[in-house]
Amino acid sequence: MAKHPINILEEFWGHTEFRPMQEDIINAVLDGHDTFALLPTGGGKSVCFQIPALIKEGICIVISPLVALMRDQVNVLKSKNIKAIALTSGIPYQEIDTLLDNCIYGNYKFLYLSPERLQQELVRDRIKQMNVNLIAVDEAHCISQWGNDFRPAYKNINDLRELIPSVNVIALTASATPEVVNDTIKELDFIDGKIFKQSFARPNIAYMTFDEEDKYFRIEKILKKNPQSSIIYVRNRKLTVDISNYLEEKGFTSTFFHGGISSDLKDQHLKQWLSNKKQVMVATNAFGMGIDKPDVKTVIHFNLPESIESYFQEGGRAGRNGKKAYAVILKNKSDEQLLKGQFLQVLPTVDFIKTVYRKLCNYFQISYGEGEFSVHDFNFNQFCKAYKFNTLVTYNALQVLDRTSVISLSKQFNKESSVQFITSNEAVFNYLRTHKDFNIVVKSILRTYGGIFDQEISVKLDLIAGKADVKSDTVASILKQLEKDGIISLKLYQTDAQITLLQPREDDKTINRIAKVIEQQNELKTKQINDILTFVNTDDVCKSLQLLSYFGESNADDCGICSVCIKQKRGETKIDTHKVIKNIVTLLEHKPLSSRQISKDINIEEKIVISTLKQMMENDIIAITNTNTYKLKHT
């Protein structure tokens, strides 16, 4: 007799009750319905397909676009003694053959695949031989051209449905507008479908937007007021380190996370934060997927998010324990242009993508009509340099080619070369006295990468070569000798990516097939940027209501806790200007002070203080000193 879902939940997850909607979704799947589950971040989506798969005989096929998430889920399942396999990129053909055999004969319960794998004849043939009990489509919004992160390869899932037509499907996502939900259900060819949508309302999260010229100071104020676990999202790797170091200097416990640090360092920093040894994690937006830390009090976006979906997902990592939490965006005058510059001005046109594709084939010396499934080591910077391409636009063009299955771009960008000096500063300079030809390269490394004596640091060979005015190969050979002589520890990757051509070379014809998709996705990205800018700049409608409206929910009340609602509440209380002036005069009788210090001492918002100070200056009560502080004007 099959076990009840609650027994499986208790046996493998140690919980005695389900989160909202989970049990209803599980029962719909067990009853054989095609099922759509829209559960916002933290809603527990994976359990909704894992429990039915464990109850039913056979194996569940899970389609996911995220290699890291696939690996994480497989590792979690294995830790519970549940047999699971992920077919990620880079696995040799023979090994894939063996792994697929295991899925047929080895009592495995889960096979994780990227949608691109469904194009492989070997994979399709073996799936026909498997006893498949469920198809789970994770990040299901990727099948919709209107969804965040649209991937045309997701349309291959329909082929899977034709291969095993009697098997029902569950589609799961954390963020989808009504248009995306309808499109996803249509694309997945639902029959007798059941749709479960959890409200996007998070009544315990205060969505806050602050105009702030001095973002560092505002972060300090927020973290002092809320000394619990926090995440600060930033746009680039350098900022993760800079802000983390700044916070440590100010007495906070902080660490950082980005794609350029080693796996060991990632694990170390993550453990420090998860165990609350470090209050703050400063990270790029790659951080947080699959991490369920319930006690995060504050999520701060130091830079504007690239879409409302991103903000909702990243901000939704706060307050999963149900207690009041904050999702904060800090913005200033330059942020709007920075956002447009980073995402809109570097969108590749169809013509540019045609050029990049043609040059790529030339670079690999591929003849017309040839090249399908050929694999090539690829140095991105050298490629851009050879053809005088803008690196950002070119990278985006390669991403488009990857997402549309023209090429497969391995994420070896994570496999950057890394160096750590394992001797003292003095020993290094003694070594250079007898290796004078290494002098300029070693000094270029030391001047470019701070902290390289303390930890393993990702380095760019091209950057070092440019500063030292030598070739990249020369830098590589010097690094190898330094490692041999015990001066450094070294992980050396002389190519920063690997590209597999998935189609034969047909130049413009290849790109013409995806031209409409490229243009539509560029329009969608423009809309997403405009939508997030409208959201951050709208200060007269409750922030929570704005988010709910975006995701198709209406008839909700003001949240009462967001930055707009709080401002409106404060507006009801009239500021006693005479009292504020009196308090400022009392303070300035002792010594000159800045507006920030005055604001802090009398506990009134700084912009109210500044407005009052202007009034006091006009009335000749105070003056500004040479150090930009305020003093009383004595007559």
Helix and strand totals (H; E) in the chain: 27, 21
Cα angle value 378/284/67 (rounded, 5°): 55
Q: How many CB atoms lie within 10 A of CB 513?
A: 13
Which has the higher per-residue pLDDT, 91 or 304? 304
Strand order in the sheet with 375-378: 375-378, 497-501, 407-409
Which run of H or E residues covers position 566? helix 563-572
Which has the higher per-residue pLDDT, 473 or 176? 176
Tell me the C-alpha distance between 482 and 301, whole Å: 40
Q: Is 622 helix (H, G, I), strand (E, B) or coil?
A: strand
State residue 252 phi and psi, 5-degree precision.
-90, 155
Stretch 400-406: mean pLDDT: 90
Give the count of alpha carbons within 13 A of 465, CB side only: 16
Q: What is the pLDDT of residues 537-546, one digit of tens each?
A: 999 999 999 9
Tell me, rounded to whole angstroms, the distance of Cα 439 from its chain centroid. Answer: 39
Q: Is the pLDDT of residue 166 over 60?
A: yes
Q: What is the pLDDT of residue 570?
A: 74
Which has the higher per-residue pLDDT, 197 or 175? 197
Alpha-carbon distances of 487 from 162, 256, 459, 481, rounded to whole Å: 59, 26, 16, 9
Nearest to 532 by CA among 276, 393, 331: 331
Which has the higher per-residue pLDDT, 133 or 615? 133
Under 8 Å between Cβ of 482 and 463 = no
Q: What is the pLDDT of residue 635?
A: 47
Q: How many CB atoms lie within 10 A of CB 219?
A: 25
Look at strands 59-63 and 110-113 and give their pairing. Answer: parallel
| DSSP secondary structure letter of residue 11 | I
Which has the higher per-residue pLDDT, 109 or 413? 109
Tell me the C-alpha distance between 11 and 280, whole Å: 34
Alpha-helix residue ranges (DSSP H) falling in 17-108? 22-30, 45-55, 67-79, 93-105
Sign, CA dihedral 386-491-271-17, equals: positive
Q: What is the pLDDT of residue 573?
A: 54
Tell me the C-alpha distance between 358 and 356, whole Å: 6
Same fold? 205-332+541-565, 574-632:
no
Q: How confident is the model at residue 495 (pLDDT cuts 50, 70, 90)?
A: low
* Nearby residues of 295 by Cβ (< 8 Å), 6 or more positions away: 228, 229, 276, 320, 321, 323
Q: Is the pLDDT of residue 399 over 70?
A: yes
Residue that has been written with the tokens 């995701």 in this structure: 551
**Of all residues in the chain, what percent carry a pLDDT higher than 90?**
57
Q: What is the pLDDT of residue 496?
A: 61
Task: Provide the b/e sequence for 581-591 (b: ≥16 CB within 10 Å).
Answer: bebbeebbeee
Alpha-carbon distances of 309 from 147, 529, 556, rounded to whole Å: 10, 11, 19
Under 8 Å between Cβ of 42 and 316 = yes
Q: Mean pLDDT lowest for which of 67-81, 499-513, 555-569, 572-586?
A: 572-586
Q: What is the pLDDT of residues 334-350, one digit of tens each?
A: 999 999 998 999 999 99
Task: Provide the b/e sequence for 324-356 (b: ≥16 CB within 10 Å).
Answer: ebbbbbbbeeebbeebbebbeebbbebebbbbb
Q: Is the pLDDT of residue 414 over 60?
A: no
Q: Which CATH architecture has domain 574-632?
A: Orthogonal Bundle (1.10)
Average pLDDT, the chain: 89
* Nearby residues of 450 by Cβ (< 8 Å), 6 or more positions away: none
**Which CATH class, in words, describes the domain spanning 5-197?**
alpha beta
Q: Which pTM was predicted?
A: 0.76
Look at strands 497-501 and 375-378 and give their pairing. Answer: antiparallel
Q: Which two tokens stand for residue 61?
A: 């096929």
Q: How confident is the model at residue 413 (pLDDT cuts 50, 70, 90)?
A: very low
Q: DSSP letters along 294-358, please?
A: TT--EEEESS--SSHHHHHHHHTTS-TTSS-EEEEEEE-TTHHHHHHHHHTTTPPPHHHHHHHHH
Strand order in the sheet with 84-87: 84-87, 110-113, 59-63, 132-137, 169-173, 35-38, 194-197
Q: What is the pLDDT of residue 498?
A: 82
Q: What is the pLDDT of residue 95?
A: 85
Q: How many CB atoms lie within 10 A of CB 271?
A: 12
Q: What is the pLDDT of residues 292-333, one digit of tens each?
A: 799 999 999 999 999 999 999 999 999 999 999 999 999 998
Residue 3's identity, in one-letter code, is K
Q: What is the pLDDT of residues 416-458, one digit of tens each?
A: 678 999 999 889 999 999 998 999 999 999 988 888 988 888 8
Stretch 136-159: mean pLDDT: 87
Q: What is the pLDDT of residue 459?
A: 85
Q: Is 85 helix (H, G, I), strand (E, B) or coil?
A: strand
**Which CATH class, in words, describes the domain spanning 205-332+541-565?**
alpha beta
* Nearby residues of 377 by Cβ (< 8 Å), 6 or more positions away: 495, 497, 498
Nearest to 218 by CA among 192, 245, 246: 246
Q: How confident is the model at residue 494 (pLDDT cuts 50, 70, 90)?
A: low
Provide the residue ranges of all domains of the chain, joining segments of one domain with +: 5-197, 205-332+541-565, 343-413+497-525, 417-491, 574-632
Stretch 590-615: mean pLDDT: 84
Q: What is the pLDDT of residue 574?
A: 61
Q: What is the pLDDT of residues 558-585, one digit of tens each?
A: 999 999 999 888 765 567 788 888 889 8
Options 3.30.70, 1.20.1630, 1.10.150, 1.10.10; CATH for 343-413+497-525 is 1.10.10
Q: Which two tokens stand for residue 8?
A: 């499986």
Under 8 Å between Cβ of 443 and 425 = no
Q: What is the pLDDT of residues 4-53, one digit of tens each?
A: 999 999 999 998 999 889 999 999 999 999 999 999 776 789 999 999 99
Q: Which two tokens stand for residue 497?
A: 């990516």
Q: What is the pLDDT of residue 90?
A: 63
Nearest to 533 by CA among 365, 275, 291, 343: 343
